[in-house]
Structure 1
């Protein structure tokens, strides 16, 4: 194993450990859900032990280690390896339409970032690339304003009344 692979293996184990430590469930419960002994789970996250989480166990592990409001350290690590980022969308307590709108907004922002990354690779921008970036940015801004308008329509009149009384 070359040095880069060794570093990645240690980083992945540290991400696994952070994921376990940040989970709502205790490690024993996580191990039970994943279908392994607690010692095996700890071995996957221990940098001094030569073991790794099998691919077939990853979905159960990710489900069992849902964090306390933060994104998954393991997913964030993997995404960073390939130049990506993880965006967590709210699920619990949200209307499906809200989640769908946020997913579309995140997708539009991802398109903007992707276009910028591709267009700026050579260090020079063409008029066509700038025009495409402007079009994508305009679409993103329109989606963001639509989301804001939707959120404003959801504000309870009672909240508005209470806040207007405080400012008076």
Structure 2
């Protein structure tokens, strides 16, 4: 497989220096396994940037998953197609071993907002329908909001 100088990871004196790595289909199986193993270890990798290979059946202990695109290039059609709801939910759920976590989905196109007409783009409506159900999302309140409100009321 080559020496340490062929790794995507930065080593210094044989020790891991970088806190981030990549995971994609062009890596050798051993390289993907190394990235996964290092991500699972305490004090090794703290971030793993991955292509859709991550959503294809592996679970990693992530507290935060950022899905940077809600569409995927389809070789057969030659264009980007929106991911199916089950594919988005699968990718979100695959990258975490606990029942809780944060998933941030960044749409591939800007979601238009028209304040004058009080309308928001169709893409937002679609994403909201996927992630907006009570069993899939939890509204998080900032715990400091109530404290700050009480301090403000007393001031």
Report if TM-score (shorter chain) is over 0.5.
no
Q: Which has the higher helix share?
A: 1
Greater strand fraction, Structure 1 or Structure 2: 2
> Based on CA coordinates, which of the two structures has the bigger radius of gyration?
1
TM-score, scaled to structure 2:
0.30
TM-score, normalised on structure 1? 0.28
